[in-house]
């Protein structure tokens, strides 16, 4: 099914069950390190969501990816509570376990309040890859439950983070308005009425019925011209941003179809790398004045610039963290000792 870019309020991608479906508990500590366990989503139907109406996330379609993910407070990347080391789909739903960090104010405060019995709830940030619309009067099956339209189901989605929140789904959807902040995601969107009944098995990809071709469905000449102009503009700006010696890199960036912002970041990172190499060569090959010893002090790149360049140049990191700010905060946590790296690369 064809993917399309859709713009969604960011708050509508921050989801929790709330109420009786949520459970949080202190897990068995590992040595002197306190741990948490949370049911991040039970797979049940959330009724009357402010944006999605009746809503559910298909457990079979969730991609978890990296087991170590940031555990935040109220979805704020600057407020780290800890990190997960185990996320799995169980009979309870989506269960996340991990460590509290006692090196941040939020980590210490959330831990102290949890020990006092404060009823923390869980929320997840989970952009969809495939959305099924259920019109009014229609129903759809999800996780053994029946969802009545109007509503939506995330049939395929990608878990980005878990977060501690004092408000559950009911409070979030009725007492807090959706923010002006938006996110653009690539997802296929279809309605339950356009899918053949025998194609709704969990093991099959949803497939559109043969669409009726109308004049409105045929792209107009102006649409094509606009698309061509947009692509020409992207290519032109990439070429104008390149420096001497970056012809091959610019060509690869154009052919790969990356955004202008990503291309500019890659070109800048390449320039920085070549300048550092050139400076190192000049310093190494330049003779010191007779009778004098020159001590050369290397000036490393700024950590955040280097982490940003890593994010921009690594599709896997982009896929795992979604946004550069999450990756930078994750690296800060590793640098500060509050998070242990999960592998030799990061």
Range of weakest confidence among 8-12, 188-192, 194-198, 200-204 = 200-204
Residue indicated by tokens 């799995």: 88
HEC sequence for 167-188: CCHHHHHHHCCCCCCEEEEEEE
- Top-confidence range, 41-55, 160-174, 178-192, 210-224: 41-55
Cβ-based neighbour number of residue 312 at 10 Å: 21
Residue 33 lies in a domain: yes
Domain boundary among 199, 232, 263: 199
Per-residue confidence (pLDDT) for residue 18, from 0 to 100: 54
Domain membership of residue 342 (yes or no) is no
CA distances from 132 to 150, 187, 213 (A): 11, 10, 22
204 is a domain residue:
no
Of 169, 199, 229, which residue constitutes the final position of a domain?
199
What is the widest separation between alpha-carbon atoms in the chain?
91
pLDDT at 260: 83
Assigned domain for 208 exists: no
Residue 221: count of CB within 10 angstroms of its CB: 7
**Residue in 224, 161, 150, 172 with CA at minimum distance from that of residue 50:** 172
Torsion of CA 261, 266, 268, 272, to 10 degrees: 160
pLDDT averaged over the chain?
77
The answer, yes or no, to whether residue 127 has pLDDT greater than 70, is: yes
Same domain membership, residue 184 and residue 325: no
> How far is residue 34's CA from residue 15's CA, in Å, rounded to a whole number?
25
**pLDDT of 153 above 50:** yes
Same domain, 102 and 174: yes
Classify residue 91: in a domain, yes or no.
Answer: yes
Would you place residue 184 in the very low, low, confident or very high pLDDT band (cuts 50, 70, 90)?
confident
Question: What residues make up the domain containing 133?
Answer: 4-199
Beta bridge partners of 82: 71, 100
Q: Are 131 and 239 members of one domain?
A: no
Note whether 50 and 190 are same-domain residues. yes
Q: What are the pLDDT digits (tens) for 304-333?
A: 888 888 888 888 888 778 788 888 888 888
**Is the pLDDT assigned to residue 83 strictly greater than 50?**
yes
28 lies in the same domain as 81? yes
Question: Average pLDDT, stretch 285-305?
Answer: 61
| Domains held by the chain: number | 2
Q: How far apart are CA 244 and CA 249, in angstroms?
A: 11
Per-residue pLDDT at 108 exceeds 90: yes
Model pTM score: 0.53
| Same domain, yes or no: 181 and 226 | no
Q: pLDDT digit string (tens) for 225-279?
A: 676 677 777 888 888 877 777 888 888 888 878 788 888 888 888 877 777 776 6
Structural domain contains residue 344: no
Q: Quick one: 249 and 314 in the same domain?
A: yes
Q: Write down the pLDDT at residue 247.
A: 85
**What whole-number distance in Å separates Cα of residue 4 and Cα of residue 18?**
31
- Asked whether 35 and 98 are in contact (CB, 8 A), the reply is yes
Peptide bond into 197 cis (omega under 30): no
**Same domain (yes/no): 176, 226:** no
Indicate if 41 and 101 belong to the same structural domain. yes
| Ramachandran bin of 184, using left for φ above 0, alpha for ψ from -120 to 50, beta for the remaining angles | beta
Q: Which of 90, 138, 100 is nearest to 120 (CA)?
A: 100
Kindly state whether residues 150 and 263 are assigned to the same domain: no
Q: Are residues 61 and 191 in the same domain?
A: yes
Same domain, 47 and 17: yes
Q: CB under 8 Å to 215, separation ≥6 — which residues?
A: none
Report yes or no on 331 lying in a domain.
yes
Q: Does some domain include residue 325? A: yes
In percent, the amount of the chain with pLDDT more than 70 equals: 73
């Amino acid at each position: 099914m064809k993917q399309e870019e859709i713009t969604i309020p960011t708050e509508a991608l921050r989801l929790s069950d709330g109420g009786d479906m949520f459970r949080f508990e202190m897990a068995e500590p590992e040595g002197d390190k306190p741990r948490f366990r949370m049911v991040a989503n039970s797979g049940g139907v959330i009724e009357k969501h402010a944006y999605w109406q009746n809503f559910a996330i298909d457990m079979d379609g969730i991609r978890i990816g990296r087991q170590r993910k940031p555990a935040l407070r109220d979805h704020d990347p600057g407020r780290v509570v800890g990190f997960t080391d185990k996320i799995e789909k169980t009979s309870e739903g989506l269960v996340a376990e991990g460590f509290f960090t006692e090196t941040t104010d939020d980590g210490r405060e959330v831990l102290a309040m949890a020990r006092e019995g404060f009823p923390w709830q869980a929320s997840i940030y989970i952009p969809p890859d495939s959305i099924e619309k259920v019109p009014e009067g229609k129903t759809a099956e999800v996780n053994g439950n029946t969802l009545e339209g109007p509503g939506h189901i995330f049939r395929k989605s990608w878990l980005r983070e878990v977060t501690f929140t004092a408000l559950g789904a009911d409070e979030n959807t009725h007492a807090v308005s959706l923010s002006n902040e938006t996110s653009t995601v690539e997802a296929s969107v279809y309605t339950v009425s356009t899918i053949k009944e025998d194609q709704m098995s969990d093991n099959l990809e949803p497939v559109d019925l043969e669409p009726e071709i109308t004049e409105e469905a045929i792209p107009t000449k102006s649409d094509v011209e606009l698309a061509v102009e947009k692509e020409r503009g992207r290519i032109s700006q990439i070429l104008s941003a390149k420096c001497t010696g970056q012809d091959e890199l610019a060509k690869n960036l154009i052919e790969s179809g990356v955004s202008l912002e990503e291309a500019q970041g890659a070109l800048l990172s390449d320039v920085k790398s070549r300048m550092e190499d050139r400076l190192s060569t000049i310093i190494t090959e330049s003779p010191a004045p007779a009778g004098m010893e020159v001590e050369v002090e290397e000036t490393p790149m700024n950590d955040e610039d280097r982490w940003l360049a890593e994010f921009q140049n690594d599709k896997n990191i982009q896929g795992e963290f979604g946004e550069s700010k999450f990756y930078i905060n994750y690296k800060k946590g590793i640098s500060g000792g509050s998070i242990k790296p999960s592998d030799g690369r990061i």
